């Protein structure tokens, strides 16, 4: 997001430059339009690009026009118009999202800092960003930084010092704007483009990627200073060699740092191990490292890291730990330790009662324990919180099928028909639902669709045999039963199929009719047995013939 916003930001400024320097009317219109399009794309990539019009205004005042009192007064109205337009855009964006232009302030309820503390901490973070740019060695860089919150101007003392340094830099930029407009523009550009993410919005305190756009012109004054020194020592070749050597070693050092940092960014595991080592008191690195282990099947390591995360004092949100309890609950559920899983899910609910997947997973455990009505109440809670949740709609669809309510089952399962992960199962259960409704033609269509990706799936064949039999197409039913018998590889599988068909619990409604299927499977087995007997006799005849030929 930050990279895309930066790319379109640069394009916007470049197109504005061409617009201002070209004399052809058609080109002016084209490049001004491209500037607006780039601004829209930058803002669409990341909201902090809303500052682009102000950056262009600074560019116009400081670099394209001569800085005079007359020009400043002339452009004062433009400044207020541009600033007003940005504010209108920002507040409109917030209003469309939340229906209240000040709703963003509600975000502080979930943050471990207040608005005042965020404003006090921001200057220290900006100074930290500057130091990272000047001294970016690998052991100072991290995807997740632990940063002390400022509680007053003197706690810590670096709060006041940082405010003083930033105010001094901005004051110097304004004061020297006539003599050194490029230097002033670079300084003001840096601080201006940190304004959104380092001031009133309840964002997380620090991320290195927030330096992308502001640092675009950060090194221009340094390069200017280097050339000034190089020209100043034009008569002293040894000093020029010293300067060149310094630059050479500096560039080599940065290249080496970049090369070494690439090892950290090699994969998620290396990235979060690095963050754990550099910020051992942070919750998130341990949680995300645990998530990596969880996703890759290392359950013991995942449990260890999740538990470590819960011990850490520094979080980005007050309710952030609920997801760790939720993930731990999933692991213990997979390990069939359902009591521990339920305990962890309940801890997650206590922290965040509005996360639908928790209720869905609790319902799954309760359903396994035979508490079907209680499981249903949890699924209803989940669907109210998130009507489009894939897993909840799937489980509700199956619940209604088991309960003999095919219309409700179809309503929920149809929401998943385009989900690739669930498609084959959804087609199967939709086929069963239409079978329950007596719409046998539709049932056949969905059951055949369930077989497209996996024609060896036994369950759709079972239901197809029953549906054809109910429809009076006994020939097709017989073929399905015979194909089904051919697919069964061993006695254990065959025994399990029979047990499922004969089961008398709530799930019986989603299994094929035992009366129909067992009789058909019996006939298919007899036919297969007779066929195998005939084949065996034929093989015996051929074997005898071979022996006689060998004797001759």
pLDDT digits (tens, 9 = 90+) for 39-62: 999 999 999 999 999 999 899 889
Tell whether 17 is covered by a domain.
yes
Residue that terminates a domain, selected from 175, 199, 218 = 218
Same domain, 12 and 94: yes
Q: What pLDDT was estimated at residue 507?
A: 66
Using one digit for the tens of pLDDT, what is the confidence trace for 316-329? 999 999 999 999 99
CB atoms within 10 A of CB 183: 18
Residue that terminates a domain, selected from 218, 252, 287 = 218
Of the candidates 230, 259, 270, 258, the residue with the CA atom closest to the CA atom of residue 246: 230
Q: How confident is the model at residue 5 (pLDDT cuts 50, 70, 90)?
A: very high
Using one digit for the tens of pLDDT, what is the confidence trace for 337-358? 999 999 999 999 999 999 999 9
Give, as one character, the DSSP assignment of residue 65: S
**Measured between alpha carbons, how far is 412 from 398 in angstroms, rounded to an integer?**
9
Tell whether 387 is covered by a domain.
no
Tell whether 270 is covered by a domain.
no
Q: Of residues 358 and 421, which shows the higher confidence score?
A: 358
Q: Where are the alpha helices (DSSP H) in 265-337?
A: 268-278, 283-295, 299-311, 322-334
Tell whether 300 is covered by a domain.
no
Give, as one character, the DSSP assignment of residue 452: S
Residue that terminates a domain, selected from 174, 196, 218 = 218
**Measured between alpha carbons, how far is 552 from 549 in angstroms, rounded to an integer?**
5
Same domain, 214 and 132: yes
pTM: 0.81
Mean pLDDT of 125-150: 92
What domain count does the chain have?
2
Tell whether 285 is covered by a domain.
no
Same domain, 94 and 137: no
- Given a cut of 90, is residue 173 above it in pLDDT? yes
Tell whether 10 is covered by a domain.
yes
Same domain, 135 and 175: yes
Same domain, 168 and 121: yes
Same domain, 15 and 88: yes
Same domain, 124 and 214: yes
Tell whether 261 is covered by a domain.
no
Same domain, 83 and 122: no
Whether residue 47 is preceded by a cis peptide bond, meaning omega within 30 degrees of 0, is no
Tell whether 325 is covered by a domain.
no
**Measured between alpha carbons, how far is 162 from 18 in angstroms, rounded to an integer?**
38
Same domain, 95 and 7: yes
H or E, element range at 46: none
Least confident segment among 17-26, 244-253, 543-552: 543-552
Range of the domain at 13: 1-101
Same domain, 8 and 77: yes
């Amino acid at each position: 997001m930050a990279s895309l916003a930066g790319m379109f930001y640069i394009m916007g400024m470049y197109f504005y430059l061409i617009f201002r320097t070209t004399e052809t009317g058609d080109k002016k219109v084209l490049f001004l339009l491209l500037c607006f399009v780039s601004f829209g794309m930058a803002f669409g990539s990341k909201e902090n690009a809303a500052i682009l019009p102000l950056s262009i205004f600074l560019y116009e005042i400081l670099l394209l026009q001569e800085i005079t009192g007359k020009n400043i007064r002339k452009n004062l109205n433009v400044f207020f118009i541009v600033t007003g337009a940005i504010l209108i855009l920002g507040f409109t964006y917030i209003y469309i999202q939340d229906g209240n232009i000040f709703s963003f302030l509600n975000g502080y309820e979930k943050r471990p800092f207040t608005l005042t503390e965020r404003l006090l901490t921001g200057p220290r973070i900006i100074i930290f960003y500057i130091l990272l740019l000047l001294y970016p060695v690998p052991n100072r860089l991290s995807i997740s930084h632990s940063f002390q919150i400022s509680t007053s101007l003197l706690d810590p003392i670096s709060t006041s010092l940082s405010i003083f340094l930033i105010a001094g830099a901005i004051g110097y930029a304004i004061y020297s704007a006539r003599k050194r407009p490029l230097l002033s523009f670079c300084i003001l550009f840096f601080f201006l483009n940190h304004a959104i993410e380092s001031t009133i919005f309840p964002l997380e305190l620090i991320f290195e990627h927030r330096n992308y756009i502001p640092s675009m012109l950060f090194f221009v004054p340094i390069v200017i200073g280097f050339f000034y020194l190089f020209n100043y020592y034009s008569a002293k070749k040894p000093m020029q060699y010293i300067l060149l050597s310094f630059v050479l070693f500096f560039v080599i050092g940065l290249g080496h740092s970049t090369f070494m940092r690439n090892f950290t960014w090699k994969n998620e595991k290396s990235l979060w191990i690095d963050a754990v080592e550099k910020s051992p008191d942070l919750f998130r690195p341990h949680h995300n490292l645990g998530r990596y282990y969880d996703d890759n099947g290392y359950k013991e390591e995942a449990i260890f890291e999740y538990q470590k995360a819960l011990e850490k004092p520094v979080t980005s949100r007050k309710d952030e730990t609920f997801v760790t309890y939720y993930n731990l609950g999933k692991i213990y559920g997979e390990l069939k330790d359902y009591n521990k899983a339920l305990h962890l899910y309940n801890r997650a609910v206590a922290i965040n009662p509005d996360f639908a997947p928790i209720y869905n997973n609790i319902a799954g455990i309760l359903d396994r324990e035979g508490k079907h009505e209680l499981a249903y109440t949890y699924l209803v809670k989940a669907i109210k919180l998130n009507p489009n949740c894939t897993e909840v709609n799937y489980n509700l669809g199956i619940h209604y099928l088991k309960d003999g309510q095919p219309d409700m089952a179809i309503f929920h399962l149809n929401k998943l028909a385009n989900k690739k992960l669930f498609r084959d199962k959804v087609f199967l259960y939709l086929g069963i639902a239409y079978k329950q409704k007596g719409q046998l033609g539709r049932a056949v269509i969905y059951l055949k669709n369930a077989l497209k990706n996996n024609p060896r799936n036994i369950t759709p064949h079972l239901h197809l045999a029953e549906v054809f039999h109910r429809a009076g197409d006994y020939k097709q039913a017989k073929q399905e039963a015979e194909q089904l018998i051919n697919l069964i590889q061993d006695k254990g599988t065959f025994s399990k199929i029979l047990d499922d068909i004969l089961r008398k619990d709530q799930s019986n409604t989603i299994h094929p009719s035992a009366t129909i299927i067992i009789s058909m499977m019996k006939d298919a087995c007899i036919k297969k047995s007779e066929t195998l007997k005939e084949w065996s006799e034929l093989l015996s005849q051929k074997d005898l013939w071979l022996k006689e030929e060998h004797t001759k």
